[in-house]
Structure 1
């Protein structure tokens, strides 16, 4: 796609992004909720998003699937007040809905496998009912404009201006950094176009390319993003990535994702899932005897995170070391 078409597509997506934003009032309500409240808290939401990242890695799903799932989850949580015990069902439903849109049918994990590996207590029937509820409330059909939409366009625009930038500007790194940001609910308040550009700027600062910085500035002017808005979110992205790069941060732990499943679960998985090398946990981790028609009260309630680490792509090299000791931010072009 040539540069003109890319810029035109960029503008079209920019004009439509507001339709896919979570309600800010709903997000603020979640952020203000305390841990002992009966509503979903920010910490609880963030933990479930980390679990979605882990599930995405385990089943080999794309970044697009993860980002769409988080978008659906945040929009639903910002619109509908749910009890914490139903959060697992909602989050996994969003992941399954996203995968059905973005993944090839042959790569879709069977619903039962998704529930078992997710160590969830709800049933297939619960999941199907929840998917219908989410789809109806969000009027979801087949797409959403997310920060990843813009990140891919920005990356293509940058590469379209020169062929020697492929070694410097890694889309894989940019995607990993975006996923790290999405694990914090505060970034759900950012416009997708601004969040993606903020992530891009951090990577550009890391490679110290004046040419690419000029491209980022050209994109900013084209979309009429103000300096103040971009500076605000660039600083927040920098702090987030700095936290992930810090040795004091417990996640990511720079190890490949390790899943814990029982022998019974492993035997029930399809043969194409690689599970024999995984460690086991006690057989009582989930109850196979639950009926397919269990009521909503039997849905999972407040389970701990599935893994102490995020996806295997959340490793040190993807979180720039230059952010650890960076104290001063470079001013944006006027």
Structure 2
């Protein structure tokens, strides 16, 4: 197992999250399960895709409505993996046993929303517009794709994201109010200045790299489908049929 393989697996899970339209909670929980399992178990690279998809499936069943949960077989097919449903079920049992059947551990997303809500209550209308939760959640997804944050406490990562975003704004009058609220929260959480500064710098570096054109952004990845020659011919035949349909006149409306 390498850092690079873990990061690629997380990006694949983010692509699946977007493909199915699942929530941020599902993705954050899946990454939490994956990192918790990797911290207690050494696995071979060939098993990582099965472990990752199982963590994702556990998170989906825990966070999404039952009607939106896909079949395991469909999930394997869409993610283009070669293991079977039986393999997945066995791996899921191993993961749950190693995590002592504790699925919903506190995630960075949960802390981020909690901290954001608490700070918003202390700010005026103008200051509230600076820290947007949607932007913060998008930044957290980028951080999840970097291995370095897998070893950092979720609460510390959430706090560092808020501090970084407040620091990046260019409105001294309003950001001063936010800084005071963040400082008060930091003291309540007993977070050391050195730890916060260190993680905030890591967040800044991660987001700077993510913003470059060289970075492979998980949100821009597309699932690539492999189809047989027969299917390709059928699709091509269907295309020509549709292409020659007569134009519908506007007067028909």
Q: Say yes or no: TM over 0.5.
A: yes
Q: TM-score normalised by the shorter chain: which range applies?
A: 0.7 to 0.9
Residues 1-334 of structure 1: matches in 2 within 5 Å?
Answer: 40-162=1-123, 164=125, 165-208=127-170, 209-247=175-213, 249-252=214-217, 255=220, 257-263=221-227
Could you tell me the TM-score, scaled by structure 2's length? 0.83
Deviation for aligned residue 1:253: 8.2
Deviation for aligned residue 1:142: 3.9
Deviation for aligned residue 1:262: 3.7
Question: Could you say which structure has the larger radius of gyration?
Answer: 2
Q: Which has the higher helix share?
A: 2
Deviation for aligned residue 1:218: 1.1
1:84-117 Cα shifts (integer Å, max 9, x gaps): 1111000000000011111111111221121111
The answer as to whether partners of 2:15 and 2:218 remain within 8 angstroms in 1 is no
Task: Provide the rounded CA distance (Å) in 2 between the counterparts of 1:167 and 1:184.
Answer: 28
Deviation for aligned residue 1:77: 1.2
**Quick one: higher RCO (CA 8 Å, sep 6+), 1 or 2?**
1
Q: What is the root-mean-square deviation of aligned Cα atoms in Å?
A: 1.9
**Gaps in structure 2 of 5+ consecutive residues:** 236-253
Task: Provide the rounded CA distance (Å) in 1 between the counterparts of 2:60 and 2:124.
Answer: 33
Count of aligned positions? 225
1:149-198 Cα shifts (integer Å, max 9, x gaps): 11010110122123624432211111111111111111111111111111
